[in-house]
Structure 1
Amino acid sequence: MSADFPIRNSFTNRGLTLSYLDSAPGDTERPVVLFLHGFPDTAEMWQAQIQFMHDAGYRCLAPDTIGCGHSQIAPKLADYNARTIIEDSVALMDQLGITKADVVGHDWGAALAWLLTAWHPERVRRLVAMSVGHPSAYAKSGLEQKLAGWYIAFFTLGALAERLLLGSGRFSLRRVFGSHPEMDEVMSRVSQPGRLRAALRIYRASLVTALLKTHPRVTVPTLGIYSRGDVFLVESQMRNSEKWVDGPWRLEIVNGGHWIPLEQPDYVNAQLKEHFIDA
């Protein structure tokens, strides 16, 4: 991927400057796919998928979630609520004159993709959710998932968590998420002033919204992808997501770890082709 592809651009919403990658700025003829990243990633994680889908004739958009990547750090905890963040994606589509898009999400990006599709079904054609299942399925996945997601409670501990995560001990980010294939880049990025706190705030602002609130059912064709080696998530929270999908549902189980788009880009691209292009 060349240095000037995809194009980095920005827009303003909520009085904040939000960054996004765009593979075909101004092209109104291509169908659109919207990629949503999770923690501790940015829009850059989707480079392999952006190249593949652009070559297949799509316009690819990948926003940096508020406070992440090149997006502005917001001042208030409430600014990072998941329901508020999905409205940033709707605002991006509105400002670009895009009526409907295919949506892909991983990790927190998958949770955002589920919520975007549930609350704005008229804006989503098809959905791909990787690693994280429907928020209600996740909330009901039991003790095994709570143990696997122990770090979430840790992340809510404010300055203490931030200090330990940037350190070198057993609770450092490098240890907790040591399986991330680009950990050096992650540490360099979140070590910048305010960036780790901003990235963590989606956990602190959104757990009640995502897990305890009732959300509309998903009505669009949906593909869930789960990896057997994911130490942070159990299979049932993805498998049981079917209970909250009224549209066509397909589940794919793959070997590998949590970071599916980065670890297995060719596999992910093949799944996107089948679900979006060949459908």
Structure 2
Amino acid sequence: MPIRLTIPTPVGSFDAITAGPADGRPVLLLHGFPQAAISWEHQVEALGARGFRAVAPDTRGYSARVRPQEPAAYGVSELVGDVLAIADELGWDRFDLVGHDWGGAVAWWTAARHPERLRTLTAVSTPHPTAWEEAKRTDEEQRRRSLYQQDWRDPGTENRFLANDAEMLRRMFQGKIPADHVEEYVRRLSEPGALSAALNYYRADRPDQEVGKVEVPTLYVWSTGDVAIGSTAAFATGSWVSRAYSFRKIEDATHWIPEEIPEVLTSLLLDHLDGR
């Protein structure tokens, strides 16, 4: 099983889980909303067993000691800076980066801005940010799928998520992930200020978010049952990667790929890493 780890950085200490030998090939895994590092539990354990050094942090807003309350603290530069600060503290000059949901967005931004630091990129669910923005402009279906992003900027969102024993928060997962993970997410996001910090990923204004082509070998995994991300952005993502690119479409799975079908994703991830 993964063990707990604390990673001190200039902005505060990140909580994390890790597995594998200290000198193993480094892999950093970033979770999304409304989850935590344990969403990668299966992958971290499997990577560690294969000799990789896998680390999955509770990211900014989710780690109690890195939880700024102002949305401005969740800009692209701040989130990418966290990735590099964590890697620097771990002593990693180059590493493999994996991200799901918001972690996927941060992973794309990091790959675009600092390709020299990455050996490979794996993005799960989240398409290339520019492909996604273009789909929102040109595809009516994607615009409808993305309406929640504006809704969650509303100041009443916290109350809606946590009302009636966090009914709305629980319903998001569609019964597709382990029940103990759901309970842990509800517990964490019920802490004072925690849900507001997590929602700041949606509330931040990001004028510096333009993303060009990514020059890192990339695996993109998308599921046809994803309610947030349609096929337009998913199929367009490959045109935004200038190095080796692999696209894996998974039929019928929902947005919660790392926890819903962990064995499938782990197999795809290991194949991608072994090929590089």
TM-score in terms of structure 2 length = 0.90
- For each residue in 1:113-163, what CA deviation from the matched residue of structure 2 results, as whole angstroms up to 9, or x when unmatched? 1001110000111111010101101101132112112211111012x1111
Shift of 1:179: 4.4
Per-residue deviation at 1:189?
1.9
- Which runs of no fewer than 5 residues in structure 2 stay unpaired? none
For residue 74 of structure 1, the aligned residue among 65, 68, 79 is 68
1:207 and 1:227 map into 2 onto residues whose CA distance is: 27
Q: 2:6 aligns with which of 9, 16, 34?
A: 9
Q: How many residues of Structure 1 are paired with residues of Structure 2 in the alignment?
A: 269
Instruction: State the 1:207 CA deviation.
Output: 5.3
The corresponding residue for 2:202 is 203
- 1:192-251: per-residue Cα shift (whole Å, max 9, x none)? 111110110011115554xxx422320111111001111111122122111211111111
Q: Which residue of 2 aligns with 1:214?
A: 210
- Aligned-partner residue type, residue 167 of structure 1: A
Aligned mate of 1:103, from 84, 97, 121: 97
Paired with 2:103 and 2:211, the residues of 1 have a C-alpha distance of 17
Instruction: Name the aligned partner's letter for residue 248 of structure 1.
Output: A
Please, which of 215, 232, 235 is the counterpart of residue 236 of structure 1? 232
Between the aligned residues of both structures, percent identity stands at 33
2:113 maps to: 119
| Structure 1 residue ranges, 4+ long, deviating more than 6 angstroms after superposition | none
Distance 1:21 1:169 in 2: 27
The code of the aligned residue for 2:56 comes to A
1:77-156 to structure 2, matched below 5 A, reads: 77-141=71-135, 142-156=139-153
Contact kept, 8 Å, 2:9 with 2:89, in 1: the verdict is no
The one-letter amino acid of 1:34's match is L
Is the CA contact (8 Å cut-off) linking 2:125 and 2:255 kept in structure 1? Answer: yes
SS at match of 1:73: coil
C-alpha spacing 1:150/1:101, structure 2 compared with 1 (3 Å): same
Letter matched to residue 35 of structure 2: D
* 2:125 and 2:222 in contact (8 A); partners too: yes
Shift of 1:20: 2.4
Secondary structure at the aligned position of 2:142 is classed as: helix
Deviation at 1:171, TM superposition (A): 8.7
* 3-state SS of paired residue (1:167): helix
Q: Which amino acid aligns with 2:258?
A: P
TM-score (norm 1): 0.89
User: Is the aligned partner of 1:277 residue 2:274?
Assistant: yes
- The secondary structure found in structure 2 opposite 1:30 is coil
Q: CA separation in 1, counterparts of 2:50 and 2:108?
A: 24
Letter of the structure 1 residue corresponding to residue 203 of structure 2:
R
SS of 2:87's partner is: helix
SS of the residue aligned with 1:266?
helix
Pick from 41, 45, 56 the counterpart of residue 39 of structure 2.
45
Letter in 2 for 1:42: A
Q: Secondary structure at the match of 1:102?
A: strand
RMSD, matched Cα: 2.1
- Offset, 1:24: 4.6
The unaligned stretches of length 5 or more in structure 1 are none
User: Could you give the per-residue CA deviations for residues 32-81 of structure 1, whole angstroms, max 9, x where no partner exists?
Assistant: 11101100011111110001111111001112111104443114321122
1:175 to 171, 177, 180: 171
- Is structure 2 residue 264 aligned with structure 1 residue 264? no
Match in the other structure for 1:20: 16
Distance 2:47 2:20 in 1: 11
